[in-house]
Amino acid sequence: MQKAASRKIGIFLTGLILLAWAVILTPSLCGAGMHELSDGEMAAVYAQGFSSFTLSTDTNTGISLATMSFPNISIGTYTQINQMAMGYYPINGTTAWDNNWTNVSLGTPGTDLIAQGLYIKAEFSGITNNGTRQLDYVQIGTTSLKGDVSANFNSFSGTIGGTTYNRTNLGAQTITSTGDINSGFNLSLAGSGSQKGFSFNFGSSSTIH
């Protein structure tokens, strides 16, 4: 993976999500210090709705899905990136990038790109068997994305508005997400299947123009 950015971020659009995650999990940099709580103090602390973790397993297939959600987190950004590329390996004898974007803009000068509700998902096969356990895919995403993502999509793998692309040259385009119930977004890394490799998936209400 290679990139040159006017602003250093993590893994392209999900860098927003990883940034929020880092803010959540990293100790505060303010002047207040950290101290250990006693058992009595811990027992008196209550919190609700900040995050949730679920693990479900299909008894017929043995497929397990682990999900960590942060439903009430909202983040926004306007970021420009010179180049983003990831997933360089051969498919059917041709070595190329899953995604190779240049002149990227997340949001616009007047309107931030807004992500509301963050999550991390991981699917496992044979999770109860140490010998056969396998990680099928990892997703980092948001349940609602609102705003524009513009770039010269030299290679795009993923979905936009229900249409699937595999290493497709889309040219200079803008992807617009509405922020409604069907405007989720995720970056997925899968080891097999029709979307093997790195894919960016925009919800069914997203449009490209």
More confident residue, 109 or 194: 109
The pLDDT assigned to 136 comes to: 85
Predicted confidence (pLDDT) at residue 13 exceeds the cutoff of 60: no
The pLDDT assigned to 23 comes to: 38
For the stretch 177-190, what's the b/e string if a residue is b when 16 or more beta carbons lie within 10 angstroms of its beta carbon?
Answer: beeeeebbbbbbbb
Average pLDDT for 27-55: 60
Q: Please, what is the average pLDDT of the chain?
A: 80
Average pLDDT for 50-67: 81
The pLDDT assigned to 73 comes to: 85
For the stretch 197-209, what's the b/e string if a residue is b when 16 or more beta carbons lie within 10 angstroms of its beta carbon?
Answer: bbbbbbbebbebe
Domain boundaries of the chain, sorted by first residue: 2-208
The values of phi and psi at residue 24, to 5°, are -65, -45
How far is the C-alpha of 27 from the C-alpha of 37, rounded, in Å? 15
The pLDDT assigned to 30 comes to: 39
The pTM assigned to this predicted structure is 0.74
Q: List pLDDT tens digits, range 59-88.
A: 777 788 888 888 888 889 999 999 999 999
Residue 152 tokens, joined: 């010269």
21: which strand partners? none
The pLDDT assigned to 26 comes to: 37
Residue 202 tokens, joined: 């925009």
CA-wise closest residue to 101 among 177, 165, 146: 165
